[in-house]
Structure 1
Amino acid sequence: MALSVDQKRLKATKFPPEFDQKVDIKKVEIDLMKKWIAERITNILGDEDDVVIDTCYNMLEQNQFPNIKEIQIQLTGFLNKECAGFCKELWILMLSAQESPRGVPKEMLEAKKLELQQAQVR
């Protein structure tokens, strides 16, 4: 049986070790992650692209345990050389979020705290 193009890409691509860890989407505050995804993709593309953003959302929410390797393969055509970095950053945040009691990545909580502290100083 012949392998599909995506299966060949999956075999040929070297992924970071974080991608071997599973994320349970039910433990993640997905609306917060969607906001991050939209901002990050818009930043990478230089313009808001609902198709790419929605594609990413759909792939994340397709299963309780999304496959980040497949997501990266699917998004590469849209995000090109930025895709691997985006997916790694996304997955690290998702892994962090599932460990958090509220489903919010600790990196986002720390960034928000710093932002509030800086606002008080002004």
Structure 2
Amino acid sequence: MSITFKDTNESLRHIRLTGRLDIAGIDAVSATFAELSASTTRSVVVDLSEVTFLVSFGIRELITNAKLIQQRGGRMVIYVGNNRAVHKTLETTGIDTLIPTFADALQADCAALA
């Protein structure tokens, strides 16, 4: 599991997770993910388009970080791209109703900034 980020502008940060978001993957990125989520005044697009596996612990991590962002006045959205497996998991668990989820990158950016 790897994590990278890019600050697009003063209002938007992109955090990209790549690999398996399982217990081992979460252990590898959890502290960095929390730091990136809590340390910015920006809204955040979390890119899960290259996540190959997502379990409940990964979903909990997304919710936890969305709350951190919301507490400081920001907003988190999820970009899944063409990743149907991850999109289906988020949809089945209802997470997409808590954290807006998009297949289109531009729509994700616009929603994060709304």
Computing the radius of gyration from Cα coordinates, the structure with the larger value is: 1
What is the TM-score when the length of structure 2 is the normalising length? 0.27
Structure with the larger helix share:
1
What is the TM-score when the length of structure 1 is the normalising length? 0.26
Structure with the larger strand share:
2
